[in-house]
Amino acid sequence: MDLLTGLVSTADGPGDGPRAITVADQAISRGELLARADRLAADLTGARAVAVRASADLDTIVTVVAGLRAGVPVVPIAHDAGPAERDHILRDSGADVIRAAGTWQDVSLPAIADTGPVSDPPGAPALVMYTSGTTGAPKGVLIPDRAIAACLDGLAESWGWTADDHLVHGLPLFHVHGLVLGVLGALRRGCALTHTGRPTPEAYAAAAGRGGSLFFGVPTVWSRLVADPTSAAALRGARALVSGSAPLPVSVFESLRTLTGVAPLERYGMTETLITVSTRVDGERRPGSVGLPITGVETRLRDDDGVVIGNDGTTIGTLEVRGTTLGHGYLGRPDATSASLTDDGWFITGDSAVIGEDGMHRIVGRTSVDIIKCGGFKVGAGEVEAAIAELAGVTEVAVIGAPDDDLGESIVAVVVTDGAVAAERIIDHVAGTLSVHKRPRRVVLVDELPRNALGKVQKRELLRQITEEGS
Ligand code: MLC
Ligand code: AMP
C-alpha cells in the first residue's frame, strides 16, 4: 500500500516549499525529499532490511522514506547506541544495508545466517522497531504499513489533523513517537514538519513563531516547557498540544492549560500496538485520562484470573487491546509473540488501567517493576543489569525506576561491588555500551540486596528504601 499519500500528492504542489520539512538547521521541500528518497530506493531494492543510524537529520528521513518506497524493512537504531546494543540489533534484524552518517562509517555488518527475508506473516514489514522487555536484549517489533496507516488515520480523526497543520516536535527518530507519528504522520497528511533537533522549550517557542500549529512531546518535554513560562506563552496560538509515551502529571496538564490557553490532548500506545487510545480534539480533555480507543481499536480490562472487568471507572485491570493498529509480533521470537497475546487474540499491554462508564481510559501503572519509563524512553531493568554485571568488581546489581519530577522515573542502579568500582564508571559503561538514555542517573552502592526466602531480589522493598533515603 502507499503509506505516504500526503507526501506524494503534495510534492511540488502549491503548499510545498523549500522549508516544508525542516530538521534543526536543515530544510527540504516535499518534492525534493521524494526525489532523493526515490533515488536511494532504487539502490535499496532487493535488500533484506536497511538499518539506519537514526539521528535527528534529513538523511534519516530520506532513508526511512526510501525503504518504505522500495518495500525494504527499515530498522531504526538509536544514534548513540553503543556497540552492544547496535550489534545486537544489526545481527537480530538481519539488515544487509546500513546507512549511518558520521561515526558509524566503519561499522561492518555482522555475519548473519541466510535466514530468508525479514518476514511479517503476509509480507515484509515497513519497520522493525526495537523495544525493551523485562529481561534480555531488546526485541524487534514487526510493524506493517497497514498498522501505521490505521494508527495515523485514527489519530487524524481524533485530533482533526490535516494538511493545513504544521507539526512541531524534537523527539528521537528511533521510536514510534518521533518517527511514526512525528515524521510519517506529517508525510501521510502532507502537512509541514519542523523537527527542532532537541525538544527544548526555546526551540518549541521559536517554531510556534514560524507557524507551528500541532506540537508533540513526552511529559518531560511539557514539564520543562511549563517551567519556562515565557516559552510556554509562545504556544498560545497552537491548535493542539499532544502528550504521550508516559503519564502526564495532572499538575503539568493544568500548567499547560494556564500558560498556553490550550488543554493538552493525551494519547496512549506502545511500540507493539502503535497508538490505540486518545482524547479527542472535539471531546473532553480530562487531566489524568488518555481518552477513548481510536477508530479501528477495541480495548478491555481483565483481572488476575483472566475475568473481563466491566467499565465501572474504579476497578483496575490489565489493559488488553486489539485492532488495526497492532504490529505482527516480535521478529524471530514466536515464544515472546505468543506470550504477548491472549488465547482469543488480544494483545496484553502490561499496563494497569481503569475504564469509565463513558469509555475514558486512565492508565494507573505497570504490572512489572522491571519496565522503567525514563523521559518517555522504555528501559528494561534486565538489560541494564546485564550490562552492569559485566564489569569486573561488580558482584550483584538490581536496577529500579525511582519516581522523578523531571523524567517521570529515573534509572537507579543498586550495586554490590568488591569496593573497586566507582559509580561514574558504572554510568559511563551503560551509556557507552547500550545507549546514553539507558544510563543510571544514580548509583547506590550497598553491602547486600534485599532478597526473599527464594533468593529473589525484592525490588519493591528496594524502591521503598531508595525513595525514603532520597527524601
Ligand atoms: C550525559 N550525557 C552523556 C552521559 N551523561 N553522554 C555519554 N555518557 C554519559 N555518561 C549527555 C548526552 O549525550 C546528551 O548530550 C546529554 O547528556 C543529555 O542527555 P540526557 O540526559 O539523556 O537528556 P535529557 O535532557 O535527560 O533528555 C530528556 C528528553 C529525552 C525528554 C529530551 O528523555 C527524550 O528525548 N525523550 C523522548 C523519548 C521518546 O521519544 N519516547 C517514545 C518511545 S515510543 P547531547 O549532546 O545530546 O545534549 C512510545 C510509544 C508511545 O513510548 O506511546 O509514544
Ligand atoms: P514503548 O514500549 O516505548 O512503546 O512504551 C510503551 C509504554 O509507554 C506503555 O506500555 C505505557 O506504559 C507507556 N505509555 C505510553 N503512553 C502513555 C500515556 N499517555 N500515559 C501513560 N503511560 C503511557
Query: What was the pLDDT predicted at 239?
Result: 98
Query: Which residue is listed with cell 480507543?
Result: 293
Closest residue by CA, ligand 1 atom 45:
198
Cα(437)–Cα(150) distance, integer angstroms: 30
Which residue among 271, 351, 383 is best mutated to probe the pocket of ligand 2, counting the most ligand atoms within 8 A of its Cβ?
A: 351
Decide: 176 in ligand 1 pocket, CB within 6 A: yes
DSSP string, 197-213: SS--HHHHHHHHHTT--
Cα–Cα dist 61/235, whole Å? 26
* Dihedral sign from CA coordinates of 460, 466, 469, 471: negative
pTM for the model stands at 0.97
Extract the residue ranges of the chain whose pLDDT is less than 70: 102, 105-106, 109-117, 470-471
Q: How far is the CA of 437 from the centre of ligand 1 (A)?
A: 5
| Model pLDDT for residues 7-46, shown as the tens digit of each residue | 999 999 999 999 999 999 999 999 999 999 999 999 999 9
* Residue 82 Cβ < 6 Å to ligand 1: no
* CA–centroid distance, residue 74 to ligand 1 (Å): 22
User: How confident is the model at residue 116, as a pLDDT?
Assistant: 63
Q: Which residue is closest in CA terms to ligand 1's atom 5?
A: 436
**Angle between helix 250-260 and 219-226 (nearest 10):** 50
- Ligand number nearest CA of 318 is 2
* Residue whose entry in the numeric block shows the C-alpha cell 504522520: 185
The phi and psi torsions of 61 (rounded to 5 degrees) equal -65, -40
Return the ligand number nearest the Cα of 181. Answer: 1
Q: Please, what is the angle between helix 83-93 and helix 423-433, to 10°?
A: 30
Cα-to-centroid distance, 361 and ligand 2 (Å): 13
Per residue in 103-137, pLDDT (tens digit) is 776 677 665 555 566 777 777 899 999 999 998 99
Strand order across the 192-195 sheet: 26-28, 21-23, 192-195, 166-169, 214-217, 240-243, 265-270, 274-278, 292-293
Contact status, residue 148 vs residue 155, Cβ threshold 8 Å: no
* Residue pLDDT, tens place only, 430-443: 999 999 999 999 99
Q: Which atom of ligand 1 is nearest to the CA of 431?
A: 8
User: What is the C-alpha to C-alpha distance for residues 468 and 246, in angstroms, rounded to an integer?
Assistant: 24
Residue-wise pLDDT for 321-331, tens only, equals 999 999 999 99
Closest listed residue to residue 127, CA positions, set 190, 193, 179, 191: 179
pLDDT of residue 110: 64
